[in-house]
Structure 1
Amino acid sequence: MNRPAAAPSAGGEEVGTGILLLLGAVGCFACLDASAKWVNGTGGDPVQTAAMRYLVSFAFVAAACGPWKPAGSPRRVGRSRSPALQVARGLLVVAATLTSFFALRRLPLTQATAITFAAPLFTALLAGPLLGEWPGRHRLAAVAVGFAGVLVITRPWSGALDAAMLLAGLTALFNSGYALATRMLAPRDPPLTTLFWTGAVGATATAPALPLVWRAPADARVWPVLLGLGLFGALGHWLMILAHRRAPASTLAPFFYAQLLGAAALGWLVFGALPDGWTAAGAAIVTGSGLYLLGRERGRGAAPSVDPGA
């Protein structure tokens, strides 16, 4: 996804609208994760769930954006100045989706979400070799504190470490990779182009596996939830684009952490699970370190690097 900053002259009403749109976006992402966890809990295959998520999302985006315009019309949505980078970013999004969906089979929703929100910590480390944005001692300290928060959530010293936690950590790593790719694409392609390529690459990468893993849902309720997965993904990214047209990225970035609250609420409403004390404490540490990193990036004029799940 792309996050262009709104014009500096945006008024308070516009900024408030942008914040509300962004909260709607992260609400969609929380619903996407909860839906995937529910579907996989009914016996669904995570690969099948991911494929349906991208196929439905791509169909929705393609219909909404109208990328197939006649010659002579304004720049086509599907035309990119950096197609190779768009493909690489799309594959990172797919990898993040797959590791997240597999992790959600075993982990509570809030715990999985909290671990994946370590993505800005990876981004701070990888931005040096990839973008030349080398972290100073303050940012390195924030990264160390954030990883301490992840350790509090996973508690490897207690024997509670699960392979699914490692998958959630991989999700955070893949998320940081596509956040950096998004930064590199920002001056090259408009947001709708990146949104279109996200769905196109995701559908192309996952559709071939669908016949191999397909299992018709035994519960009829699964079908509308599978359709909802794609709609939540597409709508979430679309609301995010609208939000960043109305408010600066630096203003909106802290509100991405509202997804943790959404995950906690849905975990309780849908699965009857509340986060334990360790998860709540670790999530607070990860959030605090992430917000500190955002503050440092805002002071340097860099684009915030918080990215929710794909």
Structure 2
Amino acid sequence: LSEINQEVDQQSLITIDAIRALTQSINTIRAYAADNTLTAPSVLDYQTAGISGVDAANLIEVNQQVDEQSLITVNGIQTLTDSLNTLRSYAVDNTQPAPSVNDYQIAGVSGVDSDNLDDINQQVDEQTLLSVDAMRSLTSSLNTIRAYAEDNTQPAPNETDYTIVGVSGVDTDNVSEINQQVDEQSILVVDAMRDVMASVLTIRTYASDNTQAAPELADFTKLGISGVDAPNLAAINEQINLQTLDTVNAIRTLVSSFNVIRAYAADNTQPEPSVSDYSDLGIAGVDSDNLAQINQQVDEQSLITI
């Protein structure tokens, strides 16, 4: 009754036929909110009930939330429609007002908060996400990645999670590499994940084919590989290709061993290289019997190239 009275007042309905139409549409909406096997409300039902902003493009989304949230008041459905249209407008045109955390909550998308709102909005815009279900998938995958970035005892993201949040190039072969960096560097935003992934792909591609673009210093920095600099970059890249090194840990081992040898070549008070240091650099034939002689010559001749 209160819903009927509200709309009779707001719409200034003064004919029996108009009030009958109003009552029928409100009852259709309320019945569907309680039982989605009943007739779904139409655009006309919402218009007749005094709810603006429902059209053929968003009707399915509005009906879904009326059902899921059991919305039975005109004001509740109007609030839903307004928030849903804010989301959809921004997805199509990012010069429109950006959705708020409240808009997502009202539209039935949980898991959006002040910490991840910017990234959610970015992907809603970039991917033109118009449906609540797509926004839910986005939020779920982004939160899976962010949770793992802060605590690697949480479930590890899979390649689908990265695809859903807009990070391309992740597959079953390299997902462990991006996950390692997301964890180690506590990467929480999509753009940073994209930067890391681009460097992962650059290095892995060069490892298997040295006609491709060679990794740059920035690529190693983005992957948390320290110790690569202008003097040793070419040699590091050469070994990445020759040994087909395509994991961060393997490259870190290579760089560490190379720098141990270079440091000793420049200053024999530094730690002496070990057999494994030479092996890591792809230098065969060094063993415990000849190690001292090799190190002596590395020092005396200041040998810094592989």
Q: TM-score range by the shorter chain?
A: under 0.3
Give 1 or 2 for the bigger CA radius of gyration: 2
Q: Which has the higher contact order (CA 8 A, sep 6+)?
A: 1
TM-score of the aligned structures, taking structure 1 as reference length: 0.21
Q: When you count helix as a share of all residues, which structure comes out higher?
A: 1
